């Protein structure tokens, strides 16, 4: 196998491991070398456990050489977003509040990766408590986009997207509450998928908004995303929202063309606010599917226009509740300036939370606390829940007519770092096309579909009905293979990191 592993597709890497042309240790060593070389420029990884990763790789190689069956992940190196618990490994959620937190247990997805013989290399940067769309709110510093380091990699899973895009690891996990996998995948020119809510266990995922959060895969291609989803999907009794539904054989069907594919497009997705280069690339990708035999028709999502307002009532309300535990006593950072002889218990709360949380987290806690407060609950939070139901009903009606809905992932390609930091509303609107999938609980995937004239990646989003990941992945794979340019974009490495 060529030593340039980062330029190979995921299926080529799997084949190389299976045939013995590369060992898991060699692959892991190459990833560690690339992290050491390029991470200072990108700040994608916040921590790396090289000794543990190499030990895991050696164990997989020993298993293979002794003739034992190796797990689905075959010894592939994987990065984990820094909001997923891993025994003894600092898990900060990009926040000063959890700067020294070392979990006493593994998240279910970590257990599943280990069981499938994946090699966990380290933890990846993120917006603080997953609240952000640019990976600029992290206490660990800004993550940069490999395609142009003056631009954002998206967020909140920007570290995961940047690491895969730059070839630091072939696979990574992120979490998606309102687009936090799909938007950075689009910005960084990789594949990123949000599964159906309840398809992947959230046990061990530090909560932001519990009814919206979902863990999902990043990869350089659809095959890789499918592989990692296959490994982590399934019911878990430790997560009360985990759905006890049989996991299909995603890997067995992903390469099968989907006959009679029906694709829906939403007119509102292509109106004011959508960058023209993004518009053109997405429409061309839809035309590629049509050329492959898909039927394209217009569908209506009349309540989608309320998704941002609905989301920014529900998500901050749940965040306000979830983050109440970080008070300087039970969990997290405790203010060093607290003096029990001078300060009250309320002072301890205020000092610890004021110093431990960053500005964006404070903003959302205040929004959520206000929406849940006496006199406002019915007017804001309860009304948002009713609109959320309407959004889900719109999707149900649309998916009665089509298999997938295709559209933009974000209104533009990656914006410059700092460009939206002082304008929260503009930042929130960068997730306008992704939020509704979280409110409805349906799966969505971002696939590269081109580049802007300045060389920044563009992604197209496919969405499907709940638990219809199989059809969505088949359509995504068809689209990925439909043109040379699209396929190249799916596995391309930025020149600076080639």
Sign of the Cα torsion 457, 458, 463, 468 reads negative
489 within 8 A of 418, measured Cβ to Cβ = no
Residues in the chain: 498
In terms of Cα–Cα distance, which of 289, 280, 283 is closest to 452?
Answer: 280
216 within 8 A of 195, measured Cβ to Cβ = yes
Q: Locate 112 and state its tokens.
A: 């599943």
Q: How far is CA 223 from CA 124, 253, 460, in A?
A: 22, 11, 17
118 within 8 A of 10, measured Cβ to Cβ = no
Q: Active-site residue numbers?
A: 81, 156, 180
Q: How far apart are CA 172 and CA 218, in angstroms?
A: 5
Other C-beta atoms lying within 10 Å of the C-beta of residue 483: 16
Q: Locate 488 and state its tokens.
A: 């190249």
Find the distance separating the first CA and the last CA of the chain, reported in whole Å. 17
Q: Locate 148 and state its tokens.
A: 């142009």
Geometric angle at alpha carbon 2, from 479 and 456, rounded to 5°: 40
Cβ neighbours of residue 453 closer than 8 Å, sequence gap 6 or more:
277
Q: For helices 276-291 and 469-481, what crossing angle results, to 10°?
A: 100
């Amino acid at each position: 196998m060529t030593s340039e592993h980062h330029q190979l597709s995921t299926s080529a890497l799997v084949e190389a491991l299976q045939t013995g042309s590369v060992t898991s240790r060699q692959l892991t060593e190459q990833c560690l070398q690339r992290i050491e070389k390029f991470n200072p420029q990108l700040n994608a990884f916040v921590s790396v456990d090289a000794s543990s990763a190499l030990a895991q790789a050696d164990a997989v190689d020993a298993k293979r050489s002794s003739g034992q069956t190796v797990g689905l992940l075959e010894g592939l190196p994987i990065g984990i977003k820094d909001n997923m618990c891993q025994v003894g490994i600092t898990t900060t959620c990009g926040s000063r509040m959890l700067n020294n937190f070392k979990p006493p247990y593994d998240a279910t997805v970590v257990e599943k990766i280990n069981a499938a013989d994946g090699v966990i290399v380290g933890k990846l940067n993120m917006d603080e408590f997953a609240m952000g769309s640019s990976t600029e709110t992290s206490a660990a510093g800004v993550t940069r986009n490999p395609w142009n380091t003056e631009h954002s990699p998206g967020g909140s899973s920007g570290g995961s997207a940047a690491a895969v895009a730059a070839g630091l690891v072939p696979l990574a996990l992120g979490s998606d509450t309102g687009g936090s996998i799909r938007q950075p995948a689009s910005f960084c020119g990789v594949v990123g998928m949000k599964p159906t809510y309840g398809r992947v266990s959230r046990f061990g995922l530090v909560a932001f908004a519990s009814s919206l959060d979902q863990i999902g895969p990043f990869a350089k291609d659809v095959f890789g995303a499918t592989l990692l989803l296959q490994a982590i999907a399934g019911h878990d009794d430790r997560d009360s929202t985990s759905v006890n539904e049989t996991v299909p054989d995603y890997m067995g069907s992903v390469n099968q063309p989907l006959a009679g594919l029906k694709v829906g497009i939403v007119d509102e997705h292509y109106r004011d606010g959508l960058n023209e280069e993004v518009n053109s690339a997405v429409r061309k990708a839809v035309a590629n599917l049509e050329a492959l035999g898909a039927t394209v028709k217009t569908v209506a999502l009349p309540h989608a226009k309320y998704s941002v307002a609905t989301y920014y009532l529900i998500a901050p309300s749940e965040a306000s509740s979830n983050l109440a535990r970080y008070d300087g006593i039970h969990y997290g950072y405790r203010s060093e300036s607290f003096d029990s002889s001078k300060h009250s218990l309320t002072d301890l709360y205020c000092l610890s939370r004021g110093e431990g949380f960053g500005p964006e987290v404070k903003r959302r806690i205040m929004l959520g606390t206000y929406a849940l407060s006496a006199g406002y609950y019915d007017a804001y939070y309860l009304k948002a829940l009713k609109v959320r139901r309407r959004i889900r009903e719109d999707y149900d009606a649309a998916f009665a007519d089509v298999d997938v809905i295709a559209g933009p992932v974000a209104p533009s390609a990656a914006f410059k770092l700092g460009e939206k930091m002082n304008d929260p509303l503009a930042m929130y609107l960068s997730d306008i096309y992704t939020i509704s999938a979280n409110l409805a609980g349906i799966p969505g995937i971002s696939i590269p579909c081109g580049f802007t004239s300045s060389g920044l990646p563009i992604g197209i989003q496919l969405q499907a009905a709940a638990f219809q990941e199989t059809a969505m992945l088949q359509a995504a794979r068809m689209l990925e293979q439909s043109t040379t340019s699209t396929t190249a974009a799916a596995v391309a490495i930025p020149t600076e990191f080639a």
